[in-house]
Chains A and B, each alone.
Chain A
Amino acid sequence: MNTPNDFSTQFEPERYELRAGPTYHFGLPRRDFFKFLGGGIVIFCLRDSLLAGQEAGRVHRRPDESLPQDIAAWLHVNENGEVTVCTGKVEVGQNIRTSLTQAVAEELSVAPGSIHLLMGDTDRVPFDMGTFGSRTTPTMTPQLRRAASTAREALIGLAAEAWKVDPVKLIAANGAVTDPESQRTASYAELTKGRELAKAIPAEDSLTPPAQWKVMGKPLAKVTGRDIVMGRHRYPSDIKLPGMLYGKVLRPPAFDATLTSLDAHEAEAIPGVTVVHDGNFVGIAAPNPRVAASALAALHAAWQSPPQPSSDELFEYLKKNVEQGEDHNRHVTGSMEKGLADASQRLQQTYTVAYIAHAPLEPRAAVAEWRDGKVTVWTGTQRPFGVRGELAEAFRLTEDKVRVVMPDMGSGYGGKHTGEAAVESARLAQAARQPVKLVWTREEEFTWAYFRPAGVIEISAGVASDGAITAWEFHNYNSGSAAIGTLYNIPNQLIEFHPVKSPLRQGSYRSLAAAANHFARESFMDELAHLAKMDPLDFRLKNLTDARFRDALEAAAQKFGWGKAKPQPGHGFGIAGGFDKSGYVATCAEVAVDPASRQVRVLRVVTAFDCGAVVNPDQLRNQIEGANNMGIGGALFEAIQFANGRILNPHFAQYRVPRFSDAPAIEVVLIDRKDVPSAGAGETPIVGIAPATGNAIFAATGKRLRALPMAPKGV
């Protein structure tokens, strides 16, 4: 759902690391399906386009043909009444395993404990592009709700048939169908016994309205919580196979390096060691990680690499290396000339954002096994099917010869869309003829993954004497176009995204460029407010009619006590807000600047968030708290330093991430809009913290910080 002002979708997509997805061909015959899952009822969620075709009566399928090709997910109720849901979405810490379980429990009227989600196993679940863009809640949740609702109706139908009563008189509740008149009850297990019933979701469906939700809209604890606190959950890096070897990859000293010579004799002489040399790829497989490390150290290689830019010259480099612009990266309304002429005051500023690392606590990891010409890889990725495509391409296989399994992983934040470790472990396993596990070191993860794009953002604007913004020009170089548009009512606008040949490998990061664009826009709004001699909240409201954005700003301000209390000396209050991925956010922050050390500490944060009807308030709060804490890193001190193709700070001792002492007291205000479809919440809550913090630093010190990170060494 886009607001009229949200034209970001017309802009160039900024998921630089993504390639076109493989064409999906799903051809599992119906018989095999029940052999794999057992008897019972299967409900298919068709892709939206196919659902539309079905509505128009174009899809005709004879019974016993192979299953529909274009399936988004399926749901199976087996003969024990257990529910298995297969989806290509994956669990990376955003707790969708829990929220999707709630969606199914709600519509199927079963206990969450009887539902198992099979996620991200490419041989077992239907194709999915990947888990990114906060898409699970707006797309997969309704799909699974419809499937669960269809299953419930099918179960009611079975009971009605057996009891020879009108199905509308029957009730499904607590995993059973009941006839209130005759008091007869049959559990789902009883109803599915001996059945092999496959159904697609009908075009017409009835979902429980949010006001009547019993399971959704309420807290449900993380469904895998007990396994995690006991250390029993197996993350990708925990997978172990019989006879498995341990891999290591020889990394070049710099990006874009070419291997000019390799002496592997010493390494090859170590018992049990396989050395793989294939073009620029050099790797080791060994019986245990210690031997693998010694063998790696025994390799003697020479590399040649071209001269490359450094972080010291980054922003000049970005401005100088703009790629040919395209029309769709430019948005114009009205006339800047007229807008500036109407203004009584004008302002122009430049903001910059550094490259930062996702640094998921679990680095890239994969275990690969070849059997009869087919490779299976267990790995941590947000795009199991994308990684399947990478493997198929790398080994010249058809996709049915590749299986990717994605155990719930140690987070990603947009940083694990790719399958580097999967391809590397598969190459090693192919050569060693045994399964190989490869876990990247922290240094490898900091160096050879991809980064949140750096960028330069230039804004100029004019303000009339009454505080109305009359003109707005916004140029983003390289960081991306997500949330580049403004929700403020400005008659004359010129907004443009300028792609740049990035000096580092870059890709998605939680909220994409929405964090960078909000930092620049909401910092600049603060500067304009001061120029217009208006309170920053009043100034925003003066230029804003979007009701949901106004509500978010006012809710955050009220909870924070904006305009009521004065900050004590050395402290400052800041406010910022915005809109992205169908969610509205506003954040107020209080910072303290230490008079001696000049270090900045964020003391208190209030975030108000509206993402439509809330699916799980407690998990949503957790996401918002976490987004703020993570965002403090990018706001204040995280930055990748690099020179000549090398990362200079690839360790947690050198690359500072937020720790306990950085975490502020966080209050969350949930604006639960039961009348609006639920939007995702993993990303957008991160966009407010950087500008709110910067604006608070200005309030505390009079110093305007326009570069992210703002205060790596204090103000």
Chain B
Amino acid sequence: MSKVTELLINGVKYSVDVDAGASLLSVLRDDLDLVGSKYGCGEGQCGACTVLLGGAPRRSCITPVGDAASKPITTIEGLEKDGHLHPVQQAFLDEDVMQCGYCTSGMIMTSVGLLKVHPNPTEEEIAHYLEGHICRCGTYPRIVAAVRRAAKSLQEVRS
């Protein structure tokens, strides 16, 4: 099997030595200790492992690392810039979303991806876009509210 030797994650080049078929999530967590992306199911069913690949949300648990080698990867660890949280991160704090928080990084990554392509989604559109994510604590209404809040604050930044 072919090997992957370099990954571009959060703007930083990382040297690795892994089979191209290994899951991106395992490489992030176990080889690089970037553990903000979570294992929830390993089957692409819960969304806890979501990262941005070339700017689009992807389930890292079912993404072979070989598919990620040619594109920039953004994980939850890479959203904050110079001490400033990304507006989606800030909105999750402002809406006080979290109970256990284990689903949070995946929810945030998909929401960041959503707002890139759809800057002003309705509550229904947010719920639809996040349908592949599970929050077992059931904080769904707060997550929707947080994404709405983030959309508003991003629009304020733009205008």
Within residues 50 to 66 of chain A, which ones have a CB less than 8 A from any CB in chain B? none
Q: Given contacts A229-B92, A230-B80, A288-B30, is CB(A626)–CB(B99) below 8 Å?
A: yes
Nearest A residue (CB) for B45: A652
Q: Is the CB of B128 within 8 A of A661?
A: yes
Binds A, one of B113-121, B133-141, B151-159: B133-141
Q: Is the CB of B99 within 8 A of A231?
A: no
Q: Is the CB of B41 within 8 A of A630?
A: no
Q: Is the CB of A658 within 8 A of B138?
A: yes
* Residues in A neighbouring B136, C-beta threshold 8 A: 358-361, 411, 413, 630, 657
Binds B, one of A30-38, A89-97, A247-255: A89-97
Asked if A362 CB lies within 8 Å of chain B CBs, one says yes
* Residues in B neighbouring A232, C-beta threshold 8 A: 36, 77
Asked if A627 CB lies within 8 Å of chain B CBs, one says yes
Most A Cβ at <10 Å: residue of B93, B108, B131, B138? B138
Asked if A506 CB lies within 8 Å of chain B CBs, one says no
Q: Is the CB of A361 within 8 A of B140?
A: no
Q: Is the CB of A661 within 8 A of B131?
A: yes
Q: Is the CB of B46 within 8 A of A229?
A: no
The docked-state distance in angstroms from the alpha carbon of A330 to that of B31 is 57
* Residues in A neighbouring B133, C-beta threshold 8 A: 659-660
Contact with A along B98-113 (1 / 0, CB 8 A): 1111111100100000
Contact partner, A230, options B37, B76, B128, B144, Cβ 8 Å = B76
Q: How far is the CB of A445 from chain B (nearest CB, A)?
A: 9
Q: Is the CB of B96 within 8 A of A362?
A: no
Asked if A289 CB lies within 8 Å of chain B CBs, one says yes
Number of interface residues of A (CB under 8 A): 60
Asked if A706 CB lies within 8 Å of chain B CBs, one says no
Q: How far is the CB of B75 from chain A (nearest CB, A)?
A: 7
The docked-state distance in angstroms from the alpha carbon of A408 to that of B80 is 23
The docked-state distance in angstroms from the alpha carbon of A367 to that of B40 is 17
The docked-state distance in angstroms from the alpha carbon of A650 to that of B15 is 36
Within residues 611 to 662 of chain A, which ones have a CB less than 8 A from any CB in chain B? 618-619, 622-623, 625-630, 651-653, 657-661
Q: Is the CB of B144 within 8 A of A660?
A: yes
Contact partner, B99, options A94, A219, A235, Cβ 8 Å = A94
Q: Interface of chain B, helix or strand or loop or mixed?
A: loop
Q: Given contacts A238-B35, A411-B102, is CB(A663)–CB(B141) below 8 Å?
A: yes
Within residues 220 to 264 of chain A, which ones have a CB less than 8 A from any CB in chain B? 221-222, 224-226, 228-235, 237-238, 240, 246
The docked-state distance in angstroms from the alpha carbon of A221 to that of B92 is 11
Nearest B residue (CB) for A244: B30
Q: How far is the CB of B92 from chain A (nearest CB, A)?
A: 5
Q: Is the CB of B100 within 8 A of A246?
A: no
Q: Is the CB of B142 within 8 A of A619?
A: no
Asked if B43 CB lies within 8 Å of chain A CBs, one says yes
Most A Cβ at <10 Å: residue of B18, B76, B101, B139? B101
Q: Given contacts A219-B96, A235-B38, is CB(A229)–CB(B138) below 8 Å?
A: no
The docked-state distance in angstroms from the alpha carbon of A466 to that of B139 is 43
Q: How far is the CB of B131 from chain A (nearest CB, A)?
A: 5
* Residues in B neighbouring A674, C-beta threshold 8 A: none
* Residues in A neighbouring B22, C-beta threshold 8 A: 290
* Residues in A neighbouring B144, C-beta threshold 8 A: 660
Contact partner, B26, options A237, A290, A410, A618, Cβ 8 Å = A290
Q: Given contacts A231-B36, A361-B135, is CB(A660)–CB(B127) below 8 Å?
A: yes
Asked if B89 CB lies within 8 Å of chain A CBs, one says yes
Asked if A409 CB lies within 8 Å of chain B CBs, one says yes
Within residues 335 to 365 of chain A, which ones have a CB less than 8 A from any CB in chain B? 358-363
Asked if B82 CB lies within 8 Å of chain A CBs, one says no
Asked if A432 CB lies within 8 Å of chain B CBs, one says no
Q: Given contacts A361-B103, A626-B137, is CB(A222)–CB(B35) below 8 Å?
A: no
Asked if A442 CB lies within 8 Å of chain B CBs, one says yes
Nearest B residue (CB) for A665: B141
Closest 8 CB pairs of A and B: A231-B36, A629-B138, A93-B100, A410-B102, A231-B76, A626-B138, A652-B45, A228-B101
13 A-B residue pairings within 8 Å (CB atoms): A222-B101, A225-B96, A232-B77, A410-B101, A622-B96, A629-B139, A629-B140, A630-B137, A652-B45, A659-B134, A660-B131, A663-B127, A665-B141
Interface residues of A (CB under 8 A from B): 92-95, 219, 221-222, 224-226, 228-235, 237-238, 240, 246, 288-290, 358-363, 408-411, 413, 439, 441-442, 618-619, 622-623, 625-630, 651-653, 657-661, 663, 665-666
Given contacts A229-B108, A238-B29, A630-B136, 18 further A-B contacts (CB under 8 A): A219-B96, A224-B101, A225-B93, A229-B85, A229-B98, A230-B80, A290-B18, A290-B26, A362-B38, A362-B102, A409-B100, A441-B42, A442-B40, A622-B99, A651-B45, A661-B128, A661-B131, A666-B141
